[in-house]
């Protein structure tokens, strides 16, 4: 009995075993060992579930979203995303929800569902606009333009590039604005596939 109590005290001093697994996963990620990181985050997720630690579950799930996404395991990534999203929603953590929404859009785009990706990125663009985040808006517009070009929607791609250019112009970023205007012209001039 004393040994169990001592072990529990040692775990509390050093952090729970799940937290230790999570921290090990972060070290593996930092060192570029994704396989070991995935294993550590998976173990952390199981430990956090046993502890009923929702924040830990959400954080471990978030790391697994990234790893699975990089591996092209979109379905697994989306399952982890749904779980983290539910926890963040329960706690009304708007910024974490927005981060997860951006990840979801990227995963959906990666999966090839371009229509759903467009809808998600348009929502993200609205959120960036509401947050008055021009960098996020420009990055999202650039992604939308790429998707539109994949769909052979040259006019929509050009419009997205022009909107990005206008954002840069409003901040007097002349060179960046010109680059986006050139991309808009190039998008419109693209040849239709034969």
pLDDT, tens only, 70-109: 999 999 999 999 999 999 999 999 999 999 999 999 999 9
Say if residue 3's pLDDT is above 70: no
Distance between CA atoms of residues 100 and 64, nearest Å:
12
Q: Which of 114, 104, 42 is nearest to 75 (CA)?
A: 104
pLDDT digits (tens, 9 = 90+) for 107-161: 999 999 999 999 999 999 999 999 999 999 999 999 999 999 999 999 999 999 9
Mean of pLDDT over the chain: 92
Question: Which has the closest alpha carbon to 122: 100, 133, 137?
Answer: 137
pLDDT at 10: 45
Handedness of CA 67, 69, 70, 73 (dihedral sign): positive
pLDDT at 15: 81
- List Cα–Cα distances, 75 to 57, 61, 172, in angstroms: 18, 13, 42
- How big is the CA angle at 89 (ends 87 and 90), to the nearest 5 degrees? 65
- The per-residue pLDDT for 115 is 98
């Amino acid at each position: 009995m004393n040994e169990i109590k001592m072990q529990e005290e040692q775990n509390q001093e050093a952090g729970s075993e799940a937290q230790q697994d999570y921290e090990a996963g972060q070290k593996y990620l930092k060192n570029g060992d994704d396989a070991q990181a995935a294993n550590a985050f998976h173990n952390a997720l199981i430990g956090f579930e046993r502890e009923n630690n929702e924040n830990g579950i959400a954080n471990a799930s978030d790391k697994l979203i990234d790893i699975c996404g990089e591996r092209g395991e979109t379905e697994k990534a989306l399952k982890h995303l749904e779980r983290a999203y539910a926890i963040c929603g329960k706690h009304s953590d708007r910024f974490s929800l927005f981060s997860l929404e951006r990840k979801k859009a990227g995963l959906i785009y990666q999966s090839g569902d371009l229509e759903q990706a467009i809808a998600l990125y348009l929502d993200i663009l609205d959120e960036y606009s509401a947050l008055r985040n021009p960098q996020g808006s420009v990055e999202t517009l650039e992604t939308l333009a790429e998707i539109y070009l994949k769909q052979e929607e040259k006019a929509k791609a050009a419009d997205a590039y022009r909107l990005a250019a206008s954002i840069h112009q409003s901040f007097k970023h002349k060179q960046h604005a010109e680059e986006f205007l050139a991309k808009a012209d190039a998008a419109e001039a693209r040849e239709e596939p034969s």
